Structure 1
Amino acid sequence: MNRVIITGASGFVGQNLTVYLRKRNNEVNTLSLRHPDWINQQLDGTAIIHLAGKAHDTSNTSDSEVYFKINRDLTIDLFKIFIKSNVRDFFYFSSVKAVADSVEGVLDEQIVGNPQTPYGKSKLEAEKYLLKQVLPVGKRLFIIRPCMIHGPGNKGNLNLLYKVVEKGIPWPLAAFHNDRSFLSIDNLSFLLETMINNKEINSGVYNFADDKALSTNELVTLIANTLGKKEKLWNIPASLIKFLVKIGDFLPLPLNSERLKKLTESYVVSNANIKTILGIEKLPLTVEEGLEKTITSFRKIK
């Protein structure tokens, strides 16, 4: 039986991962990095999954230094304890945003990081520190770069898009043509447990994403169909939309430039490397199945 320690267990990913692992007879313990005495705890187990961190603030109001204190410095402190412990594996949850705020083509693990935000920079600095360390024999380090994670209980832009479609409001951004990668919480949990169980995998950096990308227009259609509705796609000129959302950068409106970018940009992430390493052809859920599960959960909590 695996004994797994999770930081950030109270968050969306942590809660779902804890349930997933326990259902499969893994022992899961949580470690709160907010507790003043956490640094003195003795860690023992199969793996540490470090989820705790400061997420990207789309309102851009957070102090930049806070990102580095939480995403970089806390990670370094935890890793030093891991090195001295009996724990075998260290999973650091970074992000695809640690290497690229925007993507041309398909993002793989070979890209040279060039993040532009404090969030991305803090994640990349943590990665660089970890990758420079010499691991004792028998220990492994995995840096996980997930794309946009979703699932039951998820909030954010996906939930915002759901509300637009659910209310019958036409999607006004159909003129923006893109492809985006998603990651269902079930596929994420499957990959993590499979990596823990496979003792032959080498330390390294691994992208996590579903097997296929979808356009936002396809996502709107999927949401509408899941709700039993007909999709409503409006092809308003992109130039006009870009002008109008600038107002949202100064006023508390539902759409601003940052959110528009997230909803309409192309961001395709390759999961080929981790699937090759694990010897799997496809993940348990297709991108459509995962999204339908998330969308259905929105209906239940309405």
Structure 2
Amino acid sequence: MILVTGATGFVGQDLQHALRIRDFAFRAAGRSAQAGCFAVGNIDGGTDWKAALVGIEAVIHLAAANQNVIDGSNSGPAVFRTVNTEGTINLARQAAAYGVKRFIFISTIKVNGERSVRGRPFTPHDLPHPTTEYAVSKFEAERALIALSKTTGMEIVIIRPPLVYGRGASGSFRALTQLVRSGIPLPLASIDNRRSMVYVENLTDLIVTAVFHPAAPGQILLAGDDVAVSTPELLRRLAAAMGRPARLLPCPCAVLRILGRAMGKGELVSRLTDWLEVDISHTRRLLDWNPPFDMRNGLKRSL
């Protein structure tokens, strides 16, 4: 039996579907009571998981306080630490006490850093460089889980995804989709970067693989689609998936950054212009895994 936390969220709903079609027994858990979902209340260092953990062999921990630079709804530093660090450690300790064999933690590529160097994609062997409170909270949870594994023997698997997209996704992906659909000309044609993303069904396929694969324990697995694309190329692919023309205009990146800072949108512009490329070759080799959907089909299935 598998326990899925954050089961009613964007990734959690798709993960439930992935487990059902494979006929794997699981228990869904969330903050509030919903049909077929075990309610645990607020997630922090004091959450009581005991009833949810009865009979569980593996935990997939998706529940988190996330950041959203699009609508300004970032949780504060205290909330990130409470939910992502203290809440994760508390769940893991109780899971180990109940004899859970494997704990899958969904972290973030931002533990590696906010941006990669041109031509040098992030790998799981890089020194961590979290720079935001959100990324720090995830990294601290990772370190605590690794330490807990050494004292309890519970197997730990850490998965670091980049931006996750799919039907129903919010944040950056939804904003870009709405811009392309609007037909408004966008001054983004001059951006020369590479950014990795992961289609939600690719991510959930990787998660399910990691639950059972004998080589997964003790590993940091980077997730991603088959390719990383530039921001203009992503917009062109989105437009093609919609059957629309991509209306892109040239504008120097330096000008975009100046305008972004002046409008209080500097972080958003950085996400559009910076590199954030992920090398998933370690994940591919270790688990004999490949993303089941290429980006073209992932984008089509997302609209």
Secondary structure of 1:127's partner? helix
Establish whether residue 171 from structure 1 lines up as the match of residue 186 from structure 2. Answer: yes
Instruction: After superposition, give the CA deviation of every residue in 1:49-95 in whole Å (9 maximum; x if it has no partner).
Output: 00111102423764311111111000110010111113221011110
TM-score (norm 1): 0.89
Check if 1:283 corresponds to 2:296. Answer: no
Q: Does 1:32 align with 2:30?
A: yes
Give unmatched runs, 5+ long, in structure 2. Answer: 32-39
Count of residues in Structure 1 that have an aligned counterpart in Structure 2: 285
Structure 2 residue 107 is the aligned partner of structure 1 residue 109: no
Amino acid at match of 2:296: E
Aligned partner of 1:11: which letter?
A: G
- Residue of structure 2 in register with 1:67 after alignment: 80
Which one of 273, 282, 293 corresponds to residue 301 of structure 2? 293
Amino acid of the structure 1 residue aligned with 2:62: L
Q: List, as ranges, runs of 4+ consecutive aligned residues in structure 1 with deviation greater than 4 Å.
A: none
User: 1:231 and 2:214 equivalent?
Assistant: no
Alignment-derived partner of residue 101 in structure 2: 88
Distance 1:164 1:32 in 2: 32
RMSD: 1.8
User: What residue identity is the alignment partner of 1:175?
Assistant: S
| Greater Cα shift, 94-103 or 30-39 | 30-39
Residues 114-165 of structure 1 show CA distances to partners (whole Å, capped at 9, x for unaligned) of 211110111111111111221545x411011111111111111111111111
Q: Secondary structure at the match of 1:263?
A: helix
Identify the residue that residue 277 of structure 2 maps to in structure 1: 268
Q: Is the 8 A contact 1:43 1:87 kept in 2?
A: no
Quote how far apart the aligned CAs of 1:38 are: 2.9
Offset of residue 248 of structure 1:
2.4
Distance 1:200 1:229 in 2: 44
Q: Distance in 1 between matches of 2:260 and 2:276?
A: 21
Cα distance, 1:149–1:266 mapped onto 2, change above 3 Å: same
The amino acid across from 1:54 in the alignment is A
Over 3 Å counting, the alpha-carbon distance change for 1:78 and 1:241 in structure 2 is same
Matches within 5 A, 1:197-212: 197-212=212-227
2:263 corresponds to 1:243: no
Q: Which runs of 5+ in 1 are unaligned?
A: 250-255, 297-302
Q: 1:35 corresponds to which letter in structure 2?
A: G
Measured at CA, do residues 27 and 217 of structure 1 come closer, stay the same or move farther in structure 2, by a change above 3 Å?
same
Task: List aligned pairs for 1:117-136, cutoff 5 A.
Answer: 117-133=132-148, 134=150, 136=152
